[in-house]
Amino acid sequence: MSDMFCFQCQQTAGNKGCVRTGVCGKQPATAHLQDQLITQLIRLAEAAERCGEHTPEASRLLIDGLFTTLTNVNFDAVSLKKLIGQVLEARNALQGVSSDTAAETEKLLASAPSPDKFAEDADVRSAMQIILFGLKGVSAYAYHAARLGKRDHDMVLDMCRLLTATANDGTNRGLNDWLGLALDCGKANVRAMQLLDAGNTETFGDPEPTTVSTGHRKGHCILVSGHDLPDLYEILKQTEGKGINVYTHGEMLPAHAYPKLKAFSHFAGNFGTAWQNQQKELPDFPGAVVFTTNCIQDPKTYSDKIFTTDIVEWPGCRHIENNDFSPLIEKALELPGFAEDEEGKEITVGFGRKTLLDAVPAILDAVKSGAVRHVFLVGGCDGIRPARKYYTEFVQQTPKDTLVLTLACGKYRFNTLDLGKIGPFPRLLDCGQCNDAYSAVALALKLSETLKCTVNDLPLSLVLSWYEQKAVAILLALLYLGVKNIRLGPTLPAFVSPNILKALVDTFGISPVTTPEADIKACLEPHA
């Protein structure tokens, strides 16, 4: 008998499922709490559906709760238990009943539901899991958007409807019905990404091409990891004039392109690479580190300088409350910082939605003249598996008359490569975080609109890497928009059944990556 079961990420054990402990570091007790939280969120959604009402608190809990269970977000039993209690209170409020929530929580935790089991039918179960994991991804974008004041009640209602679809045995739906629900999840994610894009750009300005140093300055320092720009802004404000330099890590790298953020003179550069390397890199950072959203790993020997905020928590690490970063600042001043200035490589970021859309006429001219033969979007999550070298080799081998768009932390596999330029364009264009996938989507839609063709008729190929559930949500969003022939790797998800996979292949042309040489050749072949 297994101690737990989880297979929501790409690195799940044996590409089948983690049954003893999670590859991510998740322990069975934590997995149990997260399973119970998902079960109670489903029941909260059911209650909202029955009542025809969705309160602001229920909406918040739906988003926060789903995001909390996304890979590498929250490993803290105390906060998970507290969140379960809050979900129970919200459900009771919708139903107009009262109960001893603490006692009810304890009773629930004595049971062991596993939403990963779902229905008996393998295909129904797979469809339910795709929807659940997709919703976890949607919740991440919706969470960030909500922090910037961008909410959509109808989108939350759709998420609620989709979550309740996973509450029965599913035998009343056929395969096409389940695929339709999965596309509805993609539709919700398009809306969530739109909201987040609007929130980020209205608050911090439109990203603009910006060169970022990977070196460092002499002095005290703070490293900000994760995805949450409001947290970064608060840290920059609260450290101003205190002799502390602020660096980004992982998915925070694109933050340097936002005018309101890069205006801070002590916003110094980027340290380290993608999330999976943090246990090697962070011990060498001579300052304090804060994780703002997902991608935290066990800090092991350096937990004394690690802080978390928002919904991210790790047992034993100090948690920032109410945007008061003074404990983080105090720790940074206590630690030695960098002893000397050091130059590093430079990385150009900032090819966001506005920059890309403004460049559409020039891109079209370059395509028509033959200067640009093809555009590749090579992006997504990074991870540990050696097979991910595929993405480095793929970009290295792209012909010199092609552009490469990239986003998310997968770009760390190749973002220091010098691919040269085509006219005014660097061949490698960093579109931002995984949260900024809408930028690339907007470009593709604008190009197809201008050329009066479908997205699939463009000289554009998508080669995606996935790790966690935001990548699932982005994939569903692309499928909802009608994008076909996506290449996905480094492995296909363990939660996709053979019949579901066949349906995705037959309907959308999804295929696993093979070799860089073969895939580039196939991408460049004329459309049939």
Confidence label for 352 from pLDDT (cuts 50, 70 and 90): very high
Inside any domain, residue 191: no
Same-domain pairing of 358 and 460: yes
pLDDT at 124: 87
Average pLDDT over residues 6-26: 94
Inside any domain, residue 26: yes
Same-domain pairing of 471 and 325: no
For 453, residues 6+ apart whose C-beta sits below 8 A from its C-beta are none
Same-domain pairing of 94 and 217: no
Same-domain pairing of 519 and 374: yes
For residue range 448-506, what is the model confidence (pLDDT) as tens digits? 999 999 999 999 999 999 999 999 999 999 999 999 999 999 999 999 999 999 999 99
For residue range 358-403, what is the model confidence (pLDDT) as tens digits? 999 999 999 999 999 999 999 999 999 999 999 999 999 999 999 9
Question: Which strands form 374-380's sheet, in the order they lie side by side?
Answer: 428-430, 402-406, 374-380, 460-465, 487-489, 511-512
For residue range 401-436, what is the model confidence (pLDDT) as tens digits? 999 999 999 999 999 999 999 998 999 999 999 989
Average pLDDT over residues 330-346: 97
> Where a domain ends, among 91, 117, 143?
117
User: Exposed e or buried b for every residue in 124-161, given b needs 16+ CB within 10 A?
Assistant: bbbbbbbbbbbbbbbbbbbbbbbbbebbbeebbbbbbe
Inside any domain, residue 201: no
Same-domain pairing of 474 and 363: yes
Same-domain pairing of 387 and 445: yes
Same-domain pairing of 382 and 444: yes
pLDDT at 528: 47
pLDDT at 80: 95
pLDDT at 171: 66
> Where a domain ends, among 58, 86, 117?
117
CB-based burial of residue 423 (10 Å sphere; 0-12 exposed, 13-18 middle, 19+ buried)?
exposed
Which residue type occupies 343? Answer: E
Is residue 285 over pLDDT 50? yes
> Where a domain ends, among 269, 299, 334?
334
Same-domain pairing of 397 and 299: no
The count of domains in the chain is 3
Is residue 115 over pLDDT 70? no
Token look-up 């919740």 returns 139
Inside any domain, residue 128: no
Q: What is the pTM of this model?
A: 0.95
pLDDT at 109: 76
Q: Look at residue 468 and give its three-state secondary structure.
A: coil
CATH number at residue 31: 1.20.1270.20
Inside any domain, residue 342: no
pLDDT at 167: 76
Is residue 116 over pLDDT 70? no
Same-domain pairing of 355 and 325: no
Tokens of 341: 């200035």
Same-domain pairing of 368 and 496: yes
Inside any domain, residue 178: no
Is residue 527 over pLDDT 70? no
Same-domain pairing of 313 and 391: no
Residue 58's domain comprises: 1-117
Mean pLDDT in the chain? 93
Inside any domain, residue 445: yes
CATH number at residue 215: 3.40.50.2030
Average pLDDT over residues 42-55: 85
Same-domain pairing of 316 and 363: no
Is residue 350 over pLDDT 80? yes
* φ and ψ at residue 74, rounded to 5 degrees: -130, 120
- Proportion of the chain above pLDDT 70, given as a percent: 97
* φ and ψ at residue 347, rounded to 5 degrees: -120, 135
Cα angle at 503 between 501 and 504, to 5 degrees? 65
Angle between helices 469-480 and 122-147 (to 10 degrees): 100
Inside any domain, residue 106: yes
pLDDT at 172: 78
